[in-house]
Structure 1
Amino acid sequence: MAPSFTVTSRFHESFTRSALRSYLAEFISTFFYVLIVVASGMSSRKLMPDASLNPTSLVVGAIANAFALSSVLYNAWDISGGHVNPAVTFAMAVGGHISVPTALFYWVAQLIASVIACLFLKVIVVGMHVPTYVIAEEMTGFGASILEGILTFVLVYTIYAARDTRRGQVGSTGTLVIGLIAGAGVLAAGPFSGGSMNPACAFGSASIAGTFRNQAVYWVGPLVGAAVAGLLYDNVLFPSQDSDSIRGGVSNV
């Protein structure tokens, strides 16, 4: 009876007022994050038709990614934990910080928000295609997946460290650090795999563009990398003693 009771409790926990607020926060934050990231790519193409060959567009994308992620995480940090990324949610679920039903609702909110953000850009920016993440000719699908996985590992590891209250009071510095590492990831992988590190962002743009070519690259690598980062942080380097079942925060109380 105990296991059944636990499963039932976890399921009902996903429909509390706090949980519903978390889903809404994830939707809003993911919407604005994807909107800014994708719109920055469209802006670069508008100003520089050969944006793919101009290093300035890479810097623009990295800065937009860093600023946008830092800002939306700051907004959602105390409500949903500020995942804004299915890979982060997956890591939290694998590590037992949030329940599987809650993680699935997070995914739904994130993916729908991404699709709507890209659809919004397609509707209001007439005559321009919504850019998608592509793999460079020098990369194989496997290599691109490994690259995305490693970068997502670094991102999620940084997220775990930033939200660990044992390191001190969690504040705006944590969200800034996460944004900076995301921007660095774009600089490192932009010309090769796009530097997505976020399955929702890749899924939204691919859905509106109508092509899911190499979409597995932006799911398999990031999900594996995120899960390994979370498990390594929690169980090897900084074993946690307690966690928040909704936001996925790590604490020492």
Structure 2
Amino acid sequence: MASRGLELPFQRVAFGRPEEVYHVDTFKAAIAEFISTLIFVFVGEGSGMAFNKLTDNGSNTPAGIIMAALAHGFGLFVGVAVAANISGGHVNPAVTFGAFIGGNITLFRGIMYWIGQLLGSTVACLLLKFCTHGMTTPAFSLSTDVTVWNAFVFEIVMTFALVYTVYATVIDPKKGNVGILAPLCIGLVLAADILAGGAFDGASANPAVSFGPALVSWSWKNHWVYWAGPLIGGGLAGIVYEFLFISRTHEPLPSSEY
């Protein structure tokens, strides 16, 4: 077959068909995203609540940030691993958006992923509130010496690192058989993000992780930062990796492979 030449990422963006929303494979993938995000948020948010209870609101201390990094890193490792063979293990609307920008998932399938992810985060926070007899599920917030624009850039950079890692270990056709290494790398880069940015804005890098606690605690201050930053960072990672490192001379990867 003749080569189709170099394709820009935007040339491969696919909206798909509305029927995809009702397709059984899409529905299964959305459920997998729901369960993985529920596990991830329950572990991550729950660890912060537990640390606050044990240390009298000490989650912003060095020990609290280390605990958050470990809990979120391990939680994402598991969340990605258990959904990898069904949905690709996005567990993050920014990852889904980055995959869409690169032409690796259709818009309609991506919307179903988003619904599953946001519902998973919300249910996880509701379960935590019930299990802890009404404890607050803390929403992400900025530290006193950080402006919204500082946090905005933090979220862009941290999410770029996360989605770039997803591209390198999961989406790239040349990745080879990375097996369990891909979920581990994704979990580790998130843990590193939290160690770097946790003291400044909580280091979300995931709109779903921010949405659930904000909804259940009804705390929306500066919430836009935790959507705009990750979506821009994820989109940039998709564009950069697709344009610089993936040579597309064939059709986009089928959704079953990601």
- 1:189 maps to 2:197: yes
TM-score (norm 1): 0.91
Q: Distance in 2 between matches of 1:49 and 1:242?
A: 55
Query: CA separation of 1:168/1:53 partners in 2, compared to 1, >3 Å: closer, same or farther?
Result: closer
Deviates more, 1:223-232 or 1:239-248: 239-248
Query: CA separation of 1:247/1:64 partners in 2, compared to 1, >3 Å: closer, same or farther?
Result: farther
Match of 2:221 among 209, 213, 222: 213
Aligned to 1:121: 128
Q: Distance in 2 between matches of 1:190 and 1:36?
A: 16
CA shift for structure 1 position 78: 1.1
The Cα offsets for residues 190-234 of structure 1, whole Å up to 9 and x where unpaired, read as 110101111001010000111111110100010000000011101
Aligned to 1:162: 169
The secondary structure found in structure 2 opposite 1:190 is helix
Q: Distance in 2 between matches of 1:39 and 1:93?
A: 31
Query: CA separation of 1:159/1:53 partners in 2, compared to 1, >3 Å: closer, same or farther?
Result: closer
Match of 1:222 among 208, 211, 230: 230
Query: CA separation of 1:27/1:210 partners in 2, compared to 1, >3 Å: closer, same or farther?
Result: same
Q: Distance in 2 between matches of 1:233 and 1:111?
A: 26
Q: Distance in 2 between matches of 1:208 and 1:232?
A: 35
Match of 2:253 among 229, 244, 247: 244
Aligned to 2:80: 73
The Cα offsets for residues 126-184 of structure 1, whole Å up to 9 and x where unpaired, read as 15211111101111111101101100000000000011241211310111011000000
Equivalent AA in structure 1 for residue 160 of structure 2: F
Query: CA separation of 1:9/1:180 partners in 2, compared to 1, >3 Å: closer, same or farther?
Result: closer
Q: What is the root-mean-square deviation in Å for CA atoms of aligned residues? A: 1.7
Aligned to 2:9: none
Q: Distance in 2 between matches of 1:191 and 1:32?
A: 24
CA shift for structure 1 position 101: 1.1
Which blocks of at least 5 consecutive residues in structure 2 are unaligned? 1-13
Q: Is 2:27–2:112's contact at 8 Å kept on the other side of the alignment?
A: no
Between the aligned residues of both structures, percent identity stands at 38
Query: CA separation of 1:100/1:127 partners in 2, compared to 1, >3 Å: closer, same or farther?
Result: closer
The secondary structure found in structure 1 opposite 2:199 is coil
Q: How many residues align?
A: 243
Match of 1:26 among 33, 51, 55: 33
Which blocks of at least 5 consecutive residues in structure 1 are unaligned? 1-6
Q: Distance in 2 between matches of 1:238 and 1:73?
A: 22
Q: Is 2:15–2:106's contact at 8 Å kept on the other side of the alignment?
A: no
